[in-house]
């Protein structure tokens, strides 16, 4: 089982839809015995195909109503500058997601905030203070349409 096959893909699909599904239900859904299903899931975890399980929060209940997407450009894109920025951004509780990007910006951040006053505070005290930041461009979510997890 060094490569992911169609059965693994079905297991992954079921887990993406409901990561809390019991092994018994997962096995039934994909047509395996419980022991074979558990072996497959553990092999997917061991190989790093499944890197972990997480909770997806509705930001309206977990933090606030405002979701901001911030494009970040760094002064320099050296390994040192990028590593410093990434270490610092991991310590920001308002940042829910961070992606290294291609294109016109270096990083894309997704923030969960209470309101515009909260955003102003985070922009001034947190984002602008991140190491190596030369430019920030923000957009705000109107409403979610699709989340594919």
Structure tokens at 148: 């594919």
pLDDT score at 62: 52
How would residue 1 be classed by pLDDT, with cut points 50, 70 and 90? very low
86 and 125 both lie in a single domain: yes
User: Domain residues for 83?
Assistant: 59-140
Q: Is residue 83 part of a domain?
A: yes
Predicted confidence (pLDDT) at residue 117 exceeds the cutoff of 70? yes
Structure tokens at 113: 């905030």
26 and 72 both lie in a single domain: no
pLDDT score at 60: 53
**CATH number for 35:** 1.10.10.10
**Mean pLDDT, rounded, for 109-132:** 93
Query: Where do we find the tokens 């997962």?
Result: 26
pLDDT, tens digit (0-9, with 9 covering 90-100), for 45-54: 999 999 888 7
The β-bridge partners of 15 are none
65 and 126 both lie in a single domain: yes
32 and 68 both lie in a single domain: no
Higher pLDDT, 64 or 15: 15
Range scoring the smallest mean pLDDT among 57-66, 89-98, 107-116: 57-66
Q: Is residue 97 part of a domain?
A: yes
pLDDT, tens digit (0-9, with 9 covering 90-100), for 71-97: 999 999 999 999 999 999 999 988 999
Count of domains forming the chain: 2
Q: Is residue 28 part of a domain?
A: yes
39 and 64 both lie in a single domain: no
End-to-end Cα separation, the chain, in angstroms: 25
């Amino acid at each position: 089982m060094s490569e992911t096959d169609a059965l693994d893909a079905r297991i992954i699909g079921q887990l993406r839809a409901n990561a809390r599904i019991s092994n018994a239900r997962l096995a039934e859904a994909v047509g395996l015995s419980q022991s074979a299903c558990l072996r497959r899931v553990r092999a997917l975890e061991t190989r790093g195909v499944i890197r972990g399980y997480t909770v997806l929060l509705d930001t309206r209940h977990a933090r606030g109503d405002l979701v901001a997407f911030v494009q970040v450009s760094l002064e320099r894109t050296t390994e040192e500058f990028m590593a410093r920025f990434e270490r610092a951004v991991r310590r920001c509780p308002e940042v829910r997601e961070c992606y290294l990007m291609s294109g016109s910006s270096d990083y894309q951040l997704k923030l969960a905030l209470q309101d515009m006053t909260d955003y102003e505070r985070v922009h001034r005290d947190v984002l602008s203070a991140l190491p190596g930041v030369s430019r920030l461009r923000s957009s705000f979510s109107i409403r979610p349409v699709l989340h594919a997890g």
